[in-house]
Amino acid sequence: MTHEKYQYYFAEALKIRGNPEILAAIKKQTKLSEEAQKKAKARYDIEDKLYELYNSIPTDGIDKALFGDQDLPEHERMVQIMEMWIKNDPKLDTIKETMIKSGKNEKIGELEKKLQDAMVDYFLALIKLDTAINDSRKNLFSDEYKTKLKEYADNGVLLYVMETPDAPILSKDISIDDVLESFTFDECASLKTLFYRFVAEENPSPSMRRKIEDIVSAVDCLENGEYRSAARTVFALLESEHKNCSAAMDNYFTLDKRMRKGVQRAEKIQQLLEGLKEQTYFTEVWNIVNPLYRDILNSKADSFIDRNSIIHGDYYSEKLDICEKDVVKLLLLFLNMRMISDHVQLYCEMLRVSINYTEIYIAQKLKNKKD
């Protein structure tokens, strides 16, 4: 992409952002995002303190005293503890004695109450942000723009992560190649901006830290022209996100083993999305991403590079030679997969927390009535 063409592309994008409705949507989403980040920090600060306290208390023998040798899913364990608590089961004496002996039971009780409020505030903030983004997708994306997005997707360019219609894809003078090249222009500036929220995450978990390193590595390899190395890294990121999404409710109601086959994981994600019926956008995107990712795994996606040649090092294959646009397509696919995964995992967490707190509340009522 020439400098002049990029200037034209950028000017067209600025025209779209200058629309009062789009500008108002961006400002609203930015404000709600900042509020959600503050609520998230408050929640995780409390969780970190609780983790340190619980981790400092010896728990040897407690699990066996409560459940024997049973290997139970999370929900069943909680239900059994609630039943023991209502009946004043002596099995719980093990926990009481351990907590009293630690001298930290009062502090833990205070923090648990604060955590309940912090989690509710966090979830409400996220729902407000999610609602604002989906309102924008519903009201600001014209039918013509949605049709163009599908046309791009059919050519392997997935732009469904957009929260407002920023890309000037309706311009007759802007091609799919122009859009792809805009991401790598000026040392991949636009692409780095797109991935900034990952890199800037505070106190990431060990697994997320490794994922961030892989994202940075993939973009660096792309920038340096090491396209095969970049592609291999993105394929690993895609598989990881596919696994994480499919495991969002594992070991809660039933003891589950992580789905190892792509088809099984896809079926599990489909089931989870069908259970989250309050929003349809993610299901619509999944219906595009799922068959495309399946074809990529089977090396049948015409609009994407051949995965098997890259992963297995088939140096006799002509499909081993790829370009920067192929890597950009993969990175955009990863962002779409991550968007779906974040949504599924967030709402599954809300579901688990809601069930837990509801059953604790019911148990308290039953115990008060019994006493």
Can you tell me the distance from the alpha carbon of 150 to that of 300, in angstroms, rounded to the nearest whole number? 19
Q: How far is CA 179 from the centre of its chain?
A: 25
Q: How large a percentage of the chain has pLDDT more than 90?
A: 48
32-65 pLDDT, tens digit each = 999 999 999 999 999 999 888 888 877 777 778 7
Rounded to two decimals, what is the model's pTM?
0.90
pLDDT higher than threshold 80 for residue 273: yes
145-185 pLDDT, tens digit each = 999 999 999 999 999 999 999 999 999 999 999 999 999 99
**So what's the pLDDT on residue 277?**
67
Dihedral, 202, 208, 213, 219 alpha carbons, nearest 10? -90
Q: Which of the residue ranges 23-27, 50-54, 296-300 would you say has the lowest mean pLDDT?
A: 296-300
315-362 pLDDT, tens digit each = 666 667 788 999 999 999 999 999 999 999 999 999 999 898 888 888
Can you tell me the distance from the alpha carbon of 51 to that of 37, in angstroms, rounded to the nearest whole number? 21
Q: Which two tokens stand for residue 325?
A: 């646009």
183 touches 328 (CB < 8 A) = yes
Burial class (CB in 10 A: 0-12, 13-18, 19+), 108: middle
Can you tell me the distance from the alpha carbon of 337 to that of 244, in angstroms, rounded to the nearest whole number? 11
Going by pLDDT thresholds of 50, 70 and 90, the confidence category of residue 279 is low
**So what's the pLDDT on residue 28?**
96
Can you tell me the distance from the alpha carbon of 18 to that of 144, in angstroms, rounded to the nearest whole number? 19
Q: Which of 225, 303, 23 has its CA nearest to residue 136?
A: 23
Can you tell me the distance from the alpha carbon of 288 to that of 151, in angstroms, rounded to the nearest whole number? 11
Q: What is the mean pLDDT of residues 258-278?
A: 81
Q: Which of 328, 348, 347 has its CA nearest to residue 336?
A: 328
**So what's the pLDDT on residue 321?**
77
